[in-house]
Structure 1
Amino acid sequence: MKRNKVKLLLVCALLVGGVIFGVYTYNQPIVIRLGIFAGSNWDVPSGKTYEVIDEAIAAFEKENPNVQIEYDSGVLKEDYSLWLSNQIVQGNEPDVFVVLNEDFNTFSSLGVLKNLNTLVEEDQSFDTDKYYKSALDFGVYQDKQYALPFESNPTLMFVNKTLLEKEGIAIPNNEWTLDDLYTIAKQVTKDIDGDGNVDQYGCYDYDWLDSMFAHSVELFDEDGQECYVGEDRVKESIIYAKKLMDLHQGNTVTAEDFDKGKVAFSPMQLSQYRTYKPYPWRVKKYSNFEWDCLKMPSVDANSGNSETSTMLLGMSTRTNHEDVAWKFLKKLSYDENTQLHLIKNSQGISPLRSVTESSETIEAIQIENEEGMVNLSMLTDVMEDTTSHSQFKKYESARALIDTRLQQIMMNSEDIDIALIRLQKEINKYLKE
């Protein structure tokens, strides 16, 4: 009888302990770690690094009382890739984290990033058509969605209004072509001070890749097994970029020339426009001339693309809280309130159509640049016309090799047909190694 009482007491103690442990465990918040860096992703001045993130976290935690979002503050962008790699090696990477463009292919191929396809397909509240396709495709690797877009940054064309006005040239409209760019560049490139050397230029920093986008060229196949650099359209792109460069008569156009207002055109990301167009940054950067931005020119008014960069957010394959991490990932990338706050406090544009095309966005852009030519319809056109590049493990290194060789070809005036065939063989060999 005594022994039975002891057993009963033990059972009761275990039950009470289990209940207490269960209540304690239930009350413990689910902690989701976020990986982000301080400063702008677009390398322009930004004083509101964490404002958008903190607001999204506060809203998410209110909607999900048993969830706590944490992040390490103070990690600089230039240190972020190494910081994140160390976290991954230690098995301590964040559940959700920013993925730099140069890291995306590597992380996807190594299994660091979770394949989101199943989550996307099974989530009835998630519609991929709400994104601009170009932005969503940035997070695709080998036909699988490994990341969602957070912010996009299309490339526009800077135009020096003061220089064109001095030369009696009308500012082109947004339907202008590569022929228009070359004609104007040739007209304004000249010796201004009479010393016999060209010191006013048509273009700065317009390279072969800009020309490739304008000609709607794809450099690689989707799997990254074949390079197309030897094709005719690539040749046309290179010839055009070289023709523009040859207008400089052997002179190297510098950033200093550009900043002093001696250049008519230069590719410029939207983030630079939004940063340096309004006061006070315009006074610090370009105060001695009036300027604005246009769409990048294309082969004709109905074709061609420009480059757009997109900041990505991914999920760790080792997260212990997949469902909550997915909800938070959507809060940052897919929630209209978060994205609208992003538009107002960052320098890029939302990858969501509804946000970029909203009246609030129109108002935000117009307030920033009351006299500017960049308007909503233009930004929408740019995002619609942009095509994302292929994503494969060797993309960044293969493109760097092509860039080095093409610069040599253009500078040394090599026979372009032979040089491009040789380069294509070299790159194809590298891709298959």
Structure 2
Amino acid sequence: MNTLQAPQSVGWTEAGAARTARWRSESGTPAPRRVVVADDRTKADDAYKLACEGTALLWRGDFHNARQLLTALARRIDRRPRKRPPADPAQAFHLHRAVQSQRARILGMLLVSLDPGYGLALRRAPDVREACLQAYGPDTPDAHPAPPLIVSLRELLGVIGAYEWRRNGVRVPALGGDRVHPYYGVFSPVRGEYVDLVAQAPLPSVPGPAFDIGTGTGVLASVLARRGVSRVVATDQDPRALACARENTERLGVTDRVEILEADLFPAGRAALVVCNPPWVPAKPTSPVEYAVYDPGSRMLRGFLNGLSAHLEPGGEGWLILSDIAEHLGLRSRAELTAAFDAAGLTVLDRLDIRPRHPRARDADDALHAARAAEVTSLWRLGAAGAAGTTEAEGSGGAEEGTRT
């Protein structure tokens, strides 16, 4: 999800003259009020002091030296004494988010200037035009001649990295090793365990199409199509995600079975299977890609649950793919989740669990290590109240990869 913002400008003085440029921030950070020019002579300690005080540095030196300065700023941030984390998991999580936000603010103070059309006129700079075009779309300034565009170097490096992800793709074992190519700002299926759950769960026996709610890259819709589902309607409301899903389903050869629609949650009609992998953590996102991780007030989760029964064929199933990390962080209890099922008129038919395989789950230095180490991702098979099926077993005690309770 991306929010359109009114154009902003940023001003500074350079070589004794006042300069202005356009400002762009995907995270919605306002244009800095104070900007000074920096180059290869700028010392890291001086840059760090200015950034902490709220003064941005517009880089005019060598591109690789700018990257080294950004690394030096990060080291200085990470060396600062840290408070002992609170014993309460929710308080520890919010403190971690505040620290990360402050870190991002300081690192975002190192700026670069892009010429119209996204040219980066720094020594030893890479050609970033295609990466920016794919992330931002065409550069269409209102004024002519067009002023330059100012962005944070940290964001630009993220744009470059996303371009490489999109160009190279992410290998998905559940698709026979074929690759999915994520767009900038669209959640990448690098954590493939949730995809594996959709590939393993038994399909409903009742006839009818499948809905994939919040399709993102289109990976789950493509897995369902590859499993033999004859028609999948995949929805999203983010233009980037819709374009990304269309490109991926075409690459994977499933466009005859997958239809991509713009919708806020459900399309019209009913389905035998409705799949949803909502953001897992009920907290406020601060950047485009975080909309796939953070769900303020559990809006998408509750919207899916509350609308599911009305969109299921008789005997159909809803598959909710959800990590329990919010429970370990103290942000949502299991009782609150199951109460939401009850309030929506749903019953649990079955649950498949899988443990994460990503490196951060084993990183003892991670600020959220305790929660990540205990995390389990589940596929909840839900039916309308009164549907036949088994309910979740109590006291299953630590699920292993691919287990069912």
Do Structure 1 and Structure 2 share a fold, with TM-score over 0.5? no
Choose 1 or 2 for highest CA Rg: 1
> What TM-score comes out, normalization by structure 2 length?
0.29
Structure with greater strand share of residues:
2
> What TM-score comes out, normalization by structure 1 length?
0.27
Higher relative contact order (CA 8 A, sep 6+): 1
